[in-house]
Amino acid sequence: MPFGHGLLSVRVFAICQDELVIRSLDDVLVPSFEVDFLVESRPVARRLHDAGIHITAGDPRRIDTYLKADLSPSTCFIVQNNGRRGVRKTLDAIRDAGGTLVYVLHTGPRNPRAAEALKTDFPEITDIELSELIRPTLVTELSRSMTRARVQQYQRYFADADRVLILLHNDPDPDALASGLALRNLLRRTKTTAIIGAMQGVTRPENLRMANMLDIHVEGVTAASFQEFERIATVDVQPHYFGGLLDRADLVIDHHPEQPGYSAVFKDIRADYGSTSTILTEHLRAVDVNISERTATAMLYAIKSDTLFFARHTNRVDLDAFTFLYPLSDAALIRKMEGAEITLERLDYVTRASQGGILREQVFSAFIGEAPREDFIPYTADFFLQLEGVKWTIVAGVVGSSLIVSVRNLGYSRNAGEFVRRWFGDVGSAGGHRAMAKAVVPMDRFRQKFGELTGPAITVRIAEMAEHFLHEAGAERKKEPALK
């Protein structure tokens, strides 16, 4: 069963009798969930439909009522039990229609003997009291239950595979490394039965240090070797990233905006999360997997790195994951991994950017020339984002025959991913999310679009692009401004 687009698109199907309960549930669950109601009374259904509530009239005791609704095994059911009318036939119909995640909402006097008998016959149900209709309690409980059901689904799907590949993006960063380790734990696999792999290995010094200190081995893989694995999962990346080499995956877990062009058996994509490790922390907690100190340390370091310790795009769930993992982790080891990131080689590129860069309206733009490795460019962008008075950094450099552009911001202004797609999407690969983005453009195509520019002129052009983008009247404006 597909994961859909993250918990925000999870479907809740509520079978209720009372209008007040329906209105209360609608107020509590929307917009966190996609909610549909079923009621027997047609007049009530018409009245609530006119009020903008998604509701239909039907017999909750008939299997075909649920089959017609096009429900899936991942649909969450809430069945109202007012104590006056039995719900056994309704629960039977839901179960026969394939429902597995069922809550019984008690809104009337409870009969302990009847409740115990119901639980015996339907051990999968969870009881909820009407008094629990408080947003944080109900939404949190539903979210965790749905995550649990989905994780258990993909755990079963992967269980009988002899060899599994957990595929990371090229030159994996802390979030990718930690996510690979976390997923291997979730799948209850070892290094030999679940390979953490990448088509291009780790190169950045601090990421190599992390991998070495936490004994995270990333194996080199090729497109030809994909067929050697019975199951393939991608974490912190989606299959489209590999340029048509992987058009299908069994599981995709990522916090970048969802991309088209591939199919997946299961997916959990949450672009509003600051890191993929945050998503996987929720998966681990949902199924009560024991999180080792090593895994907790990797995930904590990843969340801290991907959110620039919460200065970059982040939200409450990232902070929740961080506070949960902190007591389980080795803080001293994290400090070791963070240390000595500045090398003389890196300092050379920071110096180039400082000498030739432009700081205009809190946007730092720079072209650092040719670099032997791609990681010097995002490192320089991250470095200048830490300076006082800088809210955006756009740093470009040439690696081989391509221009690499790294964009960073503090996450509360315009979208960095939109910036690179606007200016480079038609001539190269460009993407990202609100706080960080990247473009890779062949130099010949860059020159065709922007002219025969050299070092300082490229810096000026980048600054002009930023100025145009950030001063547009609104994000809906799609016409690209001319830069002549």
Does residue 484 sit within a domain? no
Residue 400 and residue 373 in one domain:
yes
pLDDT at res. 240 = 92
Which residue type sits at 388?
Answer: E
Does residue 305 sit within a domain? yes
Does residue 478 sit within a domain? no
What percent of the chain shows pLDDT beyond 70?
Answer: 90
Residue 383 and residue 451 in one domain:
yes
Average pLDDT over residues 404-415: 81
| Inter-residue contact 180 to 168 (CB < 8 Å) | yes
Question: Which CATH number fits the domain that encloses residue 210?
Answer: 3.90.1640.10
Residue 308 and residue 358 in one domain:
no
Which helix (H) or strand (E) segment holds residue 370: the answer is: strand 363-370
Residue 99 and residue 36 in one domain:
yes
Least confident range from 60-74, 232-246, 279-293: namely: 60-74
Residue 290, Cβ neighbours under 10 Å: how many? 8
Task: Tell me the pLDDT tens digit for each residue of 278-323.
Answer: 999 999 999 988 899 999 999 999 988 877 554 555 567 887 788 7
**pLDDT at residue 345 tops 70:** yes
**Boundary (domain end) residue, out of 150, 172, 194:** 150
Does residue 444 sit within a domain? yes
Confidence of residue 174 (pLDDT cuts 50, 70, 90): very high
Residue 316 and residue 363 in one domain:
no
Does residue 175 sit within a domain? yes
pLDDT at res. 475 = 47
Higher confidence at residue 157 or residue 110? Answer: 157
**pLDDT at residue 6 tops 50:** no
**pLDDT at residue 182 tops 90:** yes
The answer to pTM > 0.75 is: no
Confidence of residue 390 (pLDDT cuts 50, 70, 90): confident
pLDDT at res. 25 = 85
Q: Which structural domain, as residue segments, surrounds residue 142?
A: 7-150
Average pLDDT over residues 231-245: 95
**pLDDT at residue 443 tops 50:** yes
Least confident range from 215-229, 335-349, 395-409, 457-471: namely: 335-349
Average pLDDT over residues 180-191: 95
Question: Which CATH number fits the domain that encloses residue 454?
Answer: 3.10.310.30
Confidence of residue 477 (pLDDT cuts 50, 70, 90): very low
pLDDT at res. 262 = 93
pLDDT at res. 465 = 94
| Inter-residue contact 356 to 396 (CB < 8 Å) | no
Residue 145 and residue 168 in one domain:
no
Q: How far is CA 469 from CA 112, 385, 419, in A?
A: 64, 18, 7
pLDDT at res. 24 = 78
- β-partners of residue 269 are 254
Query: Which segment, 79-83, 85-89, 133-137, 228-232, is predicted with the most confidence on average?
Result: 228-232
What DSSP character marks residue 166?
E
**pLDDT at residue 412 tops 80:** no
> Structurally, how many domains does the chain consist of?
3
Write 34-43 long-range contacts (CB < 8 A, 24+): 34/9, 34/10, 35/11, 36/11, 36/12, 36/69, 37/13, 38/13, 38/14, 38/65, 38/69, 39/15, 41/17
pLDDT at res. 188 = 94
Higher confidence at residue 24 or residue 59? Answer: 59
One-character DSSP codes across 40-93:
S-HHHHHHHHHTT--EEE--TT-HHHHHHTT--TT-EEEEEE-SSS--HHHHHH
Measure the CA–CA gap between 60 and 66, rounded to whole angstroms: 8
As a whole number, the mean pLDDT across the chain is: 86
Reference 94, options 117, 63, 125, 121; nearest CA is 63
Does residue 362 sit within a domain? yes
pLDDT at res. 347 = 85
Average pLDDT over residues 346-369: 92
| Inter-residue contact 293 to 330 (CB < 8 Å) | yes
pLDDT at res. 342 = 65
Which residues does 329 contact at the CB level (< 8 Å), separation at least 6?
293, 296, 297, 299, 300, 301
Does residue 479 sit within a domain? no
Which residues does 484 contact at the CB level (< 8 Å), separation at least 6?
none
**Boundary (domain end) residue, out of 92, 124, 150:** 150
Which residue type sits at 228?
Answer: E
Residue 314 and residue 395 in one domain:
no
| Inter-residue contact 470 to 413 (CB < 8 Å) | yes
Q: What is the dihedral of CA 109, 110, 111, 113, to 10 degrees?
A: 180
Cis amide leading into 481 (omega within 30): no
pLDDT at res. 363 = 93
**Boundary (domain end) residue, out of 91, 117, 150:** 150
CA quadruple 55, 58, 64, 68: dihedral positive or negative?
negative
Question: Which CATH number fits the domain that encloses residue 131?
Answer: 3.40.50.720
Measure the CA–CA gap between 163 and 192, rounded to whole angstroms: 8
Residue 201 and residue 329 in one domain:
yes
Identify the burial level of 484 via C-beta atoms within 10 angstroms of its C-beta, where 0-12 means exposed, 13-18 middle and 19 or more buried: exposed
**pLDDT at residue 463 tops 90:** yes
Residue 90 and residue 172 in one domain:
no
| Inter-residue contact 185 to 291 (CB < 8 Å) | yes
Residue 396 and residue 326 in one domain:
no
Confidence of residue 82 (pLDDT cuts 50, 70, 90): confident
Residue 184 and residue 248 in one domain:
yes
pLDDT at res. 315 = 65
Higher confidence at residue 223 or residue 109? Answer: 223
- β-partners of residue 14 are 37, 78
Residue 209 and residue 133 in one domain:
no
Residue 25, CA atoms < 13 Å, CB-side half-sphere? 33
- Going by their DSSP bridges, the two strands 76-81 and 11-15 should be labelled as parallel
CA quadruple 117, 85, 97, 2: dihedral positive or negative?
negative
**pLDDT at residue 395 tops 80:** yes
Does residue 410 sit within a domain? yes
Reference 279, options 324, 318, 234; nearest CA is 318
Reference 461, options 480, 439, 442, 484; nearest CA is 484
